[in-house]
Amino acid sequence: MTSQFNASETNQQQQENEILVLEAIYSQDFTYTDIADASPRFSGVLTVELALPDEVLVYFTSSKNTNETPLKIKHLPPVKIIFAMPEEYPTEEVLRFQLECCWMRWDWLQMLERKLRAIWEEERDVVLFHFAQFIHNNAIDFLQIPVPMRFGDDFVGSSTLRAVIRTYNQRVVSEEFLREHFTCGICFEEKLGQNCFQLSQCLHVFCRTCLSEYFTMLVREGFVLQVKCPEPGCRQSQLISKEELIEIIGDEMEERYSMLMEKQRLESDPLVTFCPRPGCQAPVKKDTMFEKLGVCTKCGFAFCCFCQRTWHGARAGCRINNTSKLVDEYLAADEDSKRMFELRYGAVNLSKLVTEVKEARANDEWLKSNAQLCPQCETPIEKSMGCNHMKCTRCQTHFCYLCGNWIDSRNPYSHYNNVQSPCDQRLFDGTNMEALDGMLDVEDFELI
């Protein structure tokens, strides 16, 4: 009787010691109840996560869907050891326990339980810590679970299981991130993870203060297309997601960002223009019947999409500012860009504009080479023959064809007999004298 009492006391002491050790090692992953007069006295749950080789791909396939994108994870939901310590544990009686795991098949759990009982048979000692270590380090290899992992039709509720695994992995990764230290890519100071933000697309890390100030500045100044990862050389060119932006810069700035992005999208759409009224500026879809007609749905203003003036009818011509610049941009564009111009301004309209601009430029070039502007009314005057003393046919102003300056109508030839004049002795410069001689008769001149 005394030996049995001593053995029972020894078992009780070992159980108490094991509880203390597990509580110290596993902390939040270990819970238990202690009822002194009950049998068993100690019962509880030990949660054990399996060690994975770096990142693991997990596929969820079924007869209905064989091409689903796999999950890339670092953590799987843990195995739970639900235990109770009988009075004769650990010397005479095995620990009462069962395993639970949301993603393991029933036969895997049975194999693990048999293996753990075999460990107690070998040790005949407190084994909960050994159980946890075996599950953590050896369960994947012992059960011969293939990596990448695959869950098929034999796993009930695979879509729900996918969500559970994804959610658990994200939570653990986030908890690890908060405890780590990172060097901010903007201010280059080391910060605790809880004060940092990791961009989901490229995983670059910046402190929240720097990232918030940088993105806020870009949105405030209107550079919304530059709201991307600020890491030099980052290969991810996608814009930051709406959810991340709200977390970084807040709802108010994100609303401005979305408004500016929508405005830029509309501006790049060749079928959309904006109401020209300064107090409106609403986006307007072009009329399908008339290429140039736009009717604002906000204020009702009908206008020409081409010249931005009040609607003047389909046949009336347009007066457009910077026509020459528009034509130059159109002619220099590639085929895709030209198509965008044609959708915005109309192919027929552009064709007419190009012809008009080319003719106007050719006319200007001819006038520069063959005519001189009147210094009074700027009418271009062409010299067909004779000397360089000219008289404007419009305003009757006398001027020099060589230099374009005004000359005195009372004594016009003094301009050509002045040594200080650039046209001194050049009255007949540029004149075909042989043709002139054939057309003039000496008898026409009065002798002095």
Cα-to-chain-centroid distance, residue 433? 73
Q: At residue 427, what are phi and psi to the nearest 5 degrees?
A: -60, -35
CA-to-CA separations, 391 to 86, 201, 318, 401, 413, in angstroms, rounded = 127, 76, 36, 9, 13
Cα-to-chain-centroid distance, residue 374? 58
To the query of whether residue 387 is one of the catalytic residues in this protein, the response is yes
Alpha helices in 180-230 (DSSP H): 208-221
- Give the containing element (helix H, strand E) for 121: helix 106-123
Residue 225: DSSP 8-state: G
Distance (Å, whole) CA 391 – CA 376: 11
Distance (Å, whole) CA 152 – CA 68: 11
Q: Of residues 207, 296, 305, 387, which has the active-site annotation?
A: 387
Give DSSP secondary structure letters for 379-403: -EEE--SS-SEEE-TTT--EEETTT
Distance (Å, whole) CA 342 – CA 213: 41
- Active-site annotation, residues: 387
